[in-house]
Amino acid sequence: MKIIDLSKPIQYNKTDPWFMKVKIKHKSHKKGGLLVRLFGLPKKLFPKGFEGWADDTIKKMGVHSTTHIDAPWHYSPTVAGEKAKTIDEIPLEWCYGEGLVIDMKHKEDFDAITVADIETFLEQQQLSLKPGMIVLIKTGRDVFNGTKEFPHKGTGMSAAATEWLIDQGIKVMGIDSWGWDLPLKHLVKKAKETNNAELFWEAHLVGARKEYCHMEQLVNLDALPYSGFKVAVFPLKIVGASAAPARVVAILDQ
């Protein structure tokens, strides 16, 4: 068995945009030793070689700041008129399944991925979708991870392609771009230019009609075959949250 990590490191990066900044305070073993002493154990009774315990505090990290999975609640308070699920309400059965990579690295920045793009790829590679699969959209834009350009570059899913995947029985899907849609600044600009109220965040907002989850900021999709592997994407159980960081991995039998 081989396990491939599809998650980016959680760490401070000075070049991340302000809305993605992660701040973690690392506490040394010696500081942990002071805490042990406060519990009443004198230093002379510390086990041999023991200085104290290391500890860490996440001081700042949004649930969407790193590799994560969005819950239906992120897109809308309701799905087809019913209350949308928060991340702690997502069935764990959705979070493990047969994986499939759809290679869209050829798509230009700001050119949305269409149903025809996906169908053409599947036909050329002689692949087929099955209900319950976890579909990973490979754009190659993970190379911009850790740069200021990351949120502003890339292709993204169209509403039609997102809805089509859901209709094939896909509950969980993911992408290696910053977001599932085309970059937000581009969408804002186009919505203003065209006076089109349906354009902004169109792929996300499919989730107001049909229930699904997607992952964003995946990495290492180039390390995967197109098929023949499993995906595990278990989010932190944050009650009432719109998303959660997840350690997303692919599992290959060898």
Q: How far apart are CA 61 and CA 217, in angstroms?
A: 15
Q: Which amino acid is at 53?
A: W
pLDDT of residue 234: 97
What token pair was written down for 49? 């070689």
What token pair was written down for 213? 């989850």
Domains assigned to the chain: 23-60 (no CATH), 68-252 (3.50.30.50)
- pLDDT (tens digit, 9 = 90+) per residue, 10-68? 999 999 988 899 999 999 999 988 888 888 999 999 999 999 999 999 999 999 999 99
Whether the pLDDT of residue 254 is over 90: the answer is no
Q: Helices 115-125 and 159-167 sit at what angle, rounded to 10 degrees?
A: 50
Whether the pLDDT of residue 248 is over 90: the answer is yes
Q: Cβ(181)–Cβ(210) under 8 Å?
A: no
Q: How far apart are CA 148 and CA 155, in angstroms?
A: 17
Whether the pLDDT of residue 142 is over 90: the answer is yes
pLDDT of residue 129: 98
Q: How far apart are CA 122 and CA 88, in angstroms?
A: 33
Alpha carbon 115 to its chain centroid, in Å, reads 22
Apex 68 CA angle, 223 and 96, nearest 5: 65
Q: Cβ(159)–Cβ(202) under 8 Å?
A: yes
User: In this predicted structure, which of 21-30, 35-44, 210-219, 231-240 has the lowest mean pLDDT?
Assistant: 35-44
Query: Sign of torsion, CA 185 68 214 212?
Result: negative
What token pair was written down for 67? 């590799």
Average pLDDT over residues 139-162: 96
The average confidence (pLDDT) of the chain is 96
